[in-house]
Amino acid sequence: PASARSAAQGDVTVAGVSLAEAADRFGTPLYVLDEGEFRDRCRTYRAAFPEADVIYAAKAFLCRALLHWVEEEGLGLDVCSAGELELAVTTGFPPERIVLHGNAKSPKDLSAAVRLGVARIVVDSASEINHLAVLVPRGTRQQVMVRVVPDVSAGGHAAVRTGTDGQKFGLSITDGSAEEAVARILGRPELELVGLHCHIGSQIAEVEPYITALRRLIGLLARIRDDHGVVLPQLDLGGGHAVAYRPGEDVLDVAALAARVRTELADGCARAGLPVPRLTIEPGRAIAGPAGVALYRVLSVKDTGGQRFVAVDGGMSDNPRPALYGVRYAPRLIGRGSTAPVRPVTVVGRHCEAGDVLAAGAALPDDVRPGDLLAVPVAGAYHLSMASGYNLVGRPPVVAVHEGTARLLVRRETLLDMSVRDIGL
Ligand code: LLP
């Protein structure tokens, strides 16, 4: 995080809290969230897009305290399950600022959304339109958007490219299925179609794919007006903004994106004779990712087969991203200084498979030894939200640091937590 700084002895503080002290106090593995950094990132988005609704994508990471930060910073929330939705609403998050997403929403997801009164439901298939319409109480209308596929290829890995035809999300503009869904919704009095949505992928560092998608969405807005006589008042451009996991990696320039989107929206709508719709954007990773750091204790160091393996007390159960997407992280030694020369090592986890590699080719001092602490920056998004119970290791705790104090937000998962559902004999 930007707020991290090194002290002479190799200690690192975040928001005035020593990471080594936090590791001693709360144990490892440990996830530390810099509340100020998280809030600053919310504010950066609000400042860049003052005319838009900015909604935080809860799938990146969610817990009760974070919901308060998001709410206080004036953002809305993107949820994709009844679970995320109910955690938010029971924590006091205003439902009228929540949007429900998902390619396959269950009856439970849809009925929770209608019952709790979310702002919008982004529909993803014709069958969902029918399922939703019958859940809407008589005399009321549910606002919906259609998730469309603008056929734009962008994103950090095939698994997170969602803007092209031929993947499971959304309805294609090209083959007409998006417009068919529009017609179907317009024929259901229980549903109020308020706009179009797209989310073209994740970990996207360039502005251009968003602009191409925006043009295609404006084109579809114009066709909907021509074919159905309806002018839709909203557009949602999704999230997907890249962060740098290692120094020097490309990030999405949020201010540049905002400026280009504003111009393109004004020009494109003027050309098409459309009013400028209200915009929504949905960043997740770019808000939570850089606000988090993961701390691990080194358990063993061994040289074998021509490589040095540094094994830590966490791994793919708290961070499956290297195994899933081949992502590379840049761990660093913290808690003590070292003048030893730096060499490439393979930082691995403790789980029972060879693919449990947290950082291949990591640069660490030659004298790293068991008991040392390693910090993995940019750990706030899609680590713990994708964590698993693999090997019954237990999910790590989450601690917020702010103005010199550390506060436990989520405690460590115990064997009791993990076994309580196991009721067979
Ligand atoms: N909106 C929708 C509809 C989404 O599906 C997503 C993410 C977002 C917004 C937020 O995208 P972000 O700004 O966080 O990139 N597990 C993967 C990322 C999956 C993204 C899923 N959808 C990873 O760890 O890279």
- The CB-side HSE value for 8 (13 A sphere, CA atoms) comes to 0
Q: Is residue 389 part of a domain?
A: yes
115 and 141 co-located in one domain:
yes
- Band of residue 9 on the pLDDT scale cut at 50, 70, 90: low
d(CA 214, CA 236) in angstroms, rounded, equals 9
- Nearest CA-CA partner of 372 in 417, 425, 333, 314: 333
Any ligand 1 atom below 6 A from CB of 297: no
Give yes or no for residue 425 having a pLDDT over 90: no
Ligand 1 pocket check: which of 197, 241, 282 to mutate, most ligand atoms within 8 Å of Cβ? Answer: 282
Q: What is the pLDDT of residues 318-359, one digit of tens each?
A: 999 999 999 999 999 999 999 999 999 999 999 999 999 999
Q: What is the pLDDT of residues 290-306, one digit of tens each?
A: 999 999 999 999 999 99
What the block records as the tokens of 85 is 């939705």
17 and 54 co-located in one domain:
no
State in Å: Cα 285 to ligand 1 middle.
7
Ligand 1 pocket check: which of 59, 162, 325, 383 to mutate, most ligand atoms within 8 Å of Cβ? Answer: 59
Q: Considering 288, 320, 355, which residue would you say is the last residue of a domain?
A: 288
Whole-structure pTM value: 0.96
Any ligand 1 atom below 6 A from CB of 325: yes
Q: What average pLDDT does range 28-36 have in this prediction?
A: 98
Distance of CA 258 to the CA centre of its chain: 19
Q: Considering 288, 316, 336, which residue would you say is the last residue of a domain?
A: 288
278 and 306 co-located in one domain:
no
Q: Considering 261, 288, 315, which residue would you say is the last residue of a domain?
A: 288
d(CA 146, CA 164) in angstroms, rounded, equals 16
Q: 151, 129 in Cβ contact below 8 A?
A: no
Q: Is residue 200 part of a domain?
A: yes
Q: Is residue 185 part of a domain?
A: yes
Q: For ligand 1, what atom is nearest to the CA of residue 381? A: 24
96 and 222 co-located in one domain:
yes
- Nearest CA-CA partner of 365 in 420, 423, 306, 301: 301
159 and 79 co-located in one domain:
yes
309 and 189 co-located in one domain:
no
Any ligand 1 atom below 6 A from CB of 314: no
Q: Is residue 425 part of a domain?
A: no
306 and 272 co-located in one domain:
no
In degrees to the nearest 10, what's the CA dihedral of 95, 96, 100, 105?
Answer: 60
150 and 59 co-located in one domain:
yes
Instruction: Work out the number of other CB atoms within 10 angstroms of the CB of residue 219.
Output: 14
- Band of residue 8 on the pLDDT scale cut at 50, 70, 90: very low
In degrees to the nearest 10, what's the CA dihedral of 386, 282, 185, 141?
Answer: 100
- Band of residue 139 on the pLDDT scale cut at 50, 70, 90: very high
Catalytic residues: 352
Q: What average pLDDT does range 386-399 have in this prediction?
A: 97
Strand 171-172 to 142-149 pairing:
parallel
27 and 51 co-located in one domain:
no
The residues near 114 (Cβ < 8 Å, ≥ 6 apart) are 121, 132, 135, 136, 137, 142
- Nearest CA-CA partner of 286 in 236, 238, 240: 240
CATH code (residue 108): 3.20.20.10
Q: What is the pLDDT of residues 163-204, one digit of tens each?
A: 999 989 999 999 999 999 999 999 999 999 999 999 999 999
27 and 42 co-located in one domain:
no
143 and 265 co-located in one domain:
yes
d(CA 425, CA 423) in angstroms, rounded, equals 7
280 and 350 co-located in one domain:
no
Sign of the C-alpha dihedral computed for residues 82, 87, 88 and 91 taken in this order: positive
What the block records as the tokens of 158 is 């095939």
CATH code (residue 385): 2.40.37.10
User: What's the total number of domains in the chain?
Assistant: 2
**Through-space distance between the first and last CA atoms of the chain, rounded to whole angstroms:** 47
Q: Is residue 272 part of a domain?
A: yes
Q: Is residue 424 part of a domain?
A: no
Q: Is residue 390 part of a domain?
A: yes
Give yes or no for residue 389 having a pLDDT over 80: yes
Annotated binding site for substrate: 285, 321, 325, 353, 382
> What residue's CA is closest to ligand 1, atom 16?
382
Alpha helices in 13-149 (DSSP H): 19-26, 35-48, 64-72, 82-90, 107-116, 126-133
> What residue's CA is closest to ligand 1, atom 24?
382
Expressed as residue numbers, the domain containing 10 is 5-32+290-419
